[in-house]
Structure 1
Amino acid sequence: MKRELLFGARALRQRSTLKLALWSVPEILPTAIYGVAVAHATDNFLAGRAWEGIAWLGGLVATACLGAAGAFQVYGRLGDLVEPLRDDLVRRVVGGALRTGDEAAVARVNRQVEIVRDTFAGLTLVIRSFAVTLVGVLVGLLSLAPMVAALVVPPFLLGFALSLAVLGMAADRVRASLQADEELAGAAGMAFSGVRDIAATGAEEFTERLVGRPIEAQAAAERSLAKVAALRMLCFAVGGWAPLLILLAAGPWLVGRGVSTGTLLGGLTYVLIGLQPALNTVMGALGESGLRYVVTLGRILDAAAPATPPRPMHEVNGYQLRLRGLTFAYGPNAEPVLEDLDLTVAEGEHLAVVGPSGIGKSTLAGLVCGMLAPTSGRLLLGGVPPSELSTERLAATRVLIPQEAYVFSGPLMENLTYLLPDASISEVSEAVEAVGAGRLVERLGGFDALVRPGDLSAGERQLIALARAYLSPAPLVVLDEATCFLDPEAERRAEEAFAARGGTLIVIAHRISSALRARRILVLDGNQAAIGDHQTLLRRSALYRELLGHWQPSAEQLRGEQLRGEQLRGEQLRGEQLRGSRRRDDQLRGGRLRGDQIQPAS
């Protein structure tokens, strides 16, 4: 809030502000004189001097005309003050869009900048009018009766000061209310999208607790706003009604000390016509337009701020994945999806993640790939949190294929080599055959065929994405139900290809058969987890037995899947040994190997 107020204050440091203030001076005169005019007119009428009383009222009309002329000039100078502010904001928005490619810049220029301009202009007029009224009333009261001023002005200023204090509290409560609304919308949307799964798994009570907390937080935020509104009414009572009550209560005392009836009536006029409306207007404007100004300007300044300098790149030591006390929740008051999860995935390991729908499997994939940040705990990829890796380094380390595979319009070859643009034809062909996409390539007309995503089925798009990921140099592959639209045989072929490819493979399983092909299996059950191989989990995890029971493989299928898993692990081990041998050969060709007295070739 301080930043937005300073921005508005800097906008007022112009010659236009001085002209605006000078043209406000004529408005002070009618404000200052109407109480005096009413007092003298009343005393003259009571004394039988009717024409003198009428003359005082005529003078009041004349000064009101002078004030109207000043107000006319004020509106003319307002544009000179507000339009430079708008131009500055437009430059900031456009500059930020050029730096960041912000797609929302058009909305900010067309709507948000106009909101700031209009609210800034309205607040300037209201605050100017309040200042004019306050100065005019103070001058009039001091000239009329200093004792009346001493009774009226202090409680008025106290009420205004209290309203400013409440304004800062109101801004915080409005932000909290907006955040509570967003969290409630997110929790409710998640629950509505999974109604069928919730009913199928009997998770109604868990969902009720999950959505109930944001509802309670949103209700608490609304109650806080109601309390702020009550405090604002109390501030107005102190500043607007207390001076009137004090003046009425002190009326006999003032009359006894020589204050005339007309003077007392003039003081009441200053309170009822001057101070009360001015305080009511400025409190309403600051509480509504002021908050809109602060919130909207804050969004513009945040979007137009220069990008923060990139963090220094951290060196990745391998690609081992370590999770220590990992906890993640969608919002500060939400139930954790993952809680205190400890897990180590060694280089070259094949891990399957299983669990009911909505249990957090895709959340775990997002955390592993750096798309989400842990709420607490640590997640290290090669000894470094993914959030501290540069985009290029992170992309070279892991590749994620979600359930909805991404395919863009263009040549098939560009789709396949998106993650390895300099791949050769033989490498692309090997990847296509490995994942079982050969027939699809033939049907499309070869690598030079044009691909239109709308003409492909979901399974065909997954095959193209699988071939792209297989071709990627990233040593860590995460398949987040990336084969769910393939038949079981095509799924088996694709997963076996990635297992034999080398590197680390994490499969968010769509079918329990994927778990039987993995070296280890992670079972997510609420915010609990169990990990082990197939036989271990059969003994220790009731949820794993339940998931396995839904699939119900035959004994021959079970033995076949386990046998293929052992064969794949043997092929993967031989591949790792072969790559190690090749690295040693490269070291020997490049120079002397320490400990072996082998000189480089001359």
Structure 2
Amino acid sequence: MTAATGLATRGLAFLLARRRVLLRLTAWSVLETGQTFLIGYGTARALDEGFLRGRADVGLAWLAVTGLGVLLGALGTARVYAAVADLVEPLRDRLVERVVSRGVRTGEPRYLSGLTQQVEIARDTFAGLVMVSRSFVFTSAGALAGLFTLAPPLLLVVGPPLALGMALFAATLRPLARRQETFLVADEALAGDLGTVCPGLRDVTATGAEAQIAAGTGERVEAELRAARALARWGVLRVASLTIGGQMPIVLLLAAALWLLAHGVTAGALVGALAYVTQSLLPALRNLIHGLGTSGSRLTVVLRRLAATDTDPPRPPEDSGPVYGTVTEEIRSTDTSGDLLTRPAFAGAGLRVPVTPGVAADHATAPPALSLTSVTFAYGPASAPVVHDFDLTLPPGAHLAVVGPSGTGKSTLTALVAGLLTPSHGTVRVAGHPVPGPEAAAARVLIPQEAYVFGGTLAENLAYLRPGPVPEEELLAAAESVGLVPLAARLGGLGARVDPTALSAGERQLIALTRAYLSYAPLALLDEATCHLDPGAEERAERAFAARPGGTLVVVAHRISSARRADRILVMDGRSTAYGGHEDLLRSCALYRDLVGSWTPAPAR
């Protein structure tokens, strides 16, 4: 059984189970049909038997009957809405129950989307389709019955173009539905792409992936444009069917007026026929074509997705082309309630940027791992610079600790190196490549204070920054180096699924550190990335990064032990900087001595 056949079968069963509602809907619609019948018939009789014979009282009486019919029709319309609600709301409830039973409790995005959006789309479009289809059927019945009653020759003029227009419209329904579905899929793909890209714009800039992201988004824009054009071409036929079925009868009635009058059709009947076409058939046909042509295909697409079985295979991921990695950078934003939200923008949104496997460089000939030249940065044109005329050069394999009080620019410095911020003056280079830029992005990895872990397996979390599968032996070796083995064992091994909400901040940091350790990026930026670890775990992780072949480590330190492990230390106080080894800075930098004193516990008495 095909999906379309199965959907039709379920729909028929749903309607048959609600026969009483359908009968009530039919009864009230018949009352509306009386209104349609009297619009032309009452007008014709008012002219032929009343006003054209000089009997105004008879003409006014027929018009009063017609007005009474309109009032009764309005009553029927009001009752129709109630009957439609009794038909539509059970459909909505049934769809909601299905979505909830199949997945909302799992928190999968596709089920949440089904509950919050697709069910409402199905409900609204189904209600609209019931209304326009019912209106056309009963309005056409009343109008055609009226034409036959007034004069059968009128049907010869109105009937053929109406049937031709309906046949043309029916012929376009299937191809129009296919193109409507193609357009909806393209629109959803573009919306999903923008929903991924927009929250991660800073990260796109940081990784130098502007051209690639723009190209990917551009392809989706072009796909939607092509789908929209194809839909528009078929929309022309829809307009043609409306012209033939609804507007051509008016022209034919006027053109054939003399012939009709010569064959016994009265002037009142001719006016009544024009009233049927202009006031009943044309509006009903227009509503049917626009409603069924657009909403019908949309309803089919949505119901097909909501009715899909749980065993339907998930859509395979598209070929992503280049190898991808990610930057997890903390972004703070305010939601509508005013609460401060913190989330990893890049990885949390699922956005990925190219990573090129690196090769350990010869330190004697390689460019500096990191160089900043005359870098100045302020957070506003009227703000004092956080970093002013700053120079720094690190050779490959260096280990630098950055220390200083809060608010002195330590995280700003790492953001400048990562490309998340752009200096107002000066240049930043990573491995000789300008920042921002794709080459620089591939040569460094940033681990923030709040580490990002997603709900896949532990192996998937660890290998996220690597192209292709990572051998299990390499994953285990990295876990051993960084100190992740006890946590991996507690979780159940590399194949165990990770629940980020069940992990502590320190456990999430260990996973993110191991992920970065496995990346090919030679420059690692640890922006207080070990602050939730105990001193022993912090030391093990930092030593692992410092020992990576060809690796360069920059650590924003929060413990004196972390600073003492570094080859060089950069002290920032917001106005000036000091640079040197631990012993040198103790002698020459008062701020560093103060920091060391505040970090060192007072001796027990």
TM-score of the superposition, structure 2-length normalised?
0.53
The 1:75–1:457 alpha-carbon spacing in structure 2 relative to 1, beyond 3 Å, is closer
The reply on whether 1:263 has 2:269 as its aligned counterpart is: yes
Residue 286 of structure 1 corresponds to: 292
Displacement after TM superposition at 1:276 (Å): 0.6
Alpha carbons of 1:462 and 1:55: their partners in 2 closer, same or farther (altered >3 Å)?
closer
State the partner residue of 1:232: 238
Which residue identity does 1:19 align to in structure 2? R
Match of 2:13 in 1: 10
More off after superposition, 13-22 vs 2-11: 2-11
Unpaired runs of at least 5, structure 2: 324-355, 360-437, 446-455, 462-466, 496-501, 527-540, 553-605
User: How many Å separate the matches in 1 of 2:102 and 2:292?
Assistant: 29
The structure with the largest helix share of the pair is 1
**Are residues 397 and 81 of structure 1, via their aligned partners in 2, closer, same or farther at CA, if it must alter by over 3 Å?**
farther
Q: Provide the rounded CA distance (Å) in 2 between the counterparts of 1:12 and 1:282.
A: 20
| Counterpart Cα distance in 1 of 2:477 and 2:172 | 51
Q: 1:79 aligned to 2:64?
A: no
Question: Is 1:329 aligned to 2:319, yes or no?
Answer: yes
Give the drift of 1:485: 5.0
In structure 2, what is the equivalent of residue 42 of structure 1?
Answer: 47
SS of the residue corresponding to residue 81 of structure 2 reads: helix
Work out whether residues 165 and 241 of structure 2, in 8 Å CA contact, stay in contact via their aligned partners in 1: yes
Instruction: For residue 52 of structure 1, report the CA deviation from its aligned partner.
Output: 2.2
**% identical aligned pairs:** 34
Structure 1 counterpart of 2:493: 420
Which residue does 2:29 correspond to in 1?
24
Alignment deviations for residues 513-559 of structure 1 (CA, whole Å, 9 cap, x no partner): xxxxxxxxxxxxxxxxxxxxxxxxxxxxxxxxxxxxxxxxxxxxxxx
Give the counterpart of 1:129 among 121, 131, 135: 135
For 1:401-480, list aligned pairs within 5 A.
Answer: 413-420=486-493, 452-453=504-505, 461-462=511-512
Render the CA deviation track for 1:394-443: whole Å, top value 9, x for unaligned: 9989969999x9999xxx94445434399xxxxxxxxxxxxxxxxxxxxx
3-state DSSP of counterpart to 1:12: helix
Q: Which amino acid aligns with 2:79?
A: Q
Please state whether the residue corresponding to 1:420 is helix, strand or coil: coil
Which residues of structure 1 form unaligned runs of 5+? 311-326, 331-335, 339-351, 372-378, 382-393, 423-449, 468-477, 496-508, 512-602
Structure 2 Cα separation of the partners of residues 163 and 401 of structure 1: 66
Is residue 307 of structure 1 aligned with residue 301 of structure 2? no
Offset, 1:99: 8.5
- Shift in CA distance, 93/480, structure 1 to aligned 2, threshold 3 Å: farther
- Whether the 8 Å contact between 1:407 and 1:461 is mirrored in structure 2 is no
5 Å-filtered alignment, 1:13-412, equals 13=16, 14-15=18-19, 16-44=21-49, 45-97=51-103, 102=108, 105=111, 108-181=114-187, 186=193, 189=197, 194-195=204-205, 213-302=219-308, 305-308=309-312, 329-330=319-320, 336-337=321-322, 353-354=357-358
CA contact (8 A) 1:38 1:265 kept: yes
Contact 1:123/1:290 (8 A) holds in 2: yes
Matched to 1:255, the amino acid is L
Alpha-carbon contact 2:186-2:220 (below 8 Å) kept: yes
Check whether the contact 1:20–1:74 (CA below 8 A) recurs between aligned residues: yes
Distance (Å, rounded) in 1 between the aligned partners of 2:270 and 2:104: 64
1:495-534 alignment to 2 at 5 Å? none
Cα deviation, residue 20, structure 1 = 1.6
Aligned partners of 1:93 and 1:109 also within 8 Å: yes
Find the aligned partners of 2:219 and 2:123 in 1 and give their Cα distance: 38
Change in Cα spacing, 1:251 to 1:8, as seen in structure 2 (3 Å) is same
1:39 and 1:115 map into 2 onto residues whose CA distance is: 43
Q: TM-score, normalized by length of structure 1?
A: 0.53
Q: Find the aligned partners of 2:515 and 2:159 in 1 and give their Cα distance.
A: 75
- The DSSP-based 3-state class of the residue aligned with 2:54 is coil
Moved more, 484-493 or 287-296: 484-493
Offset at 1:142?
1.0
Residues 141 and 148, structure 1, Cα contact 8 Å, conserved in 2:
yes
**Tell me, what secondary structure is at the counterpart of 2:311?**
coil
Q: Distance in 2 between matches of 1:213 and 1:105?
A: 27
Kindly provide the amino acid, as one letter, of the partner of residue 37 in structure 1. G
Separation in 2, partners of 1:402, 1:161? 68
Amino acid at match of 1:33: L
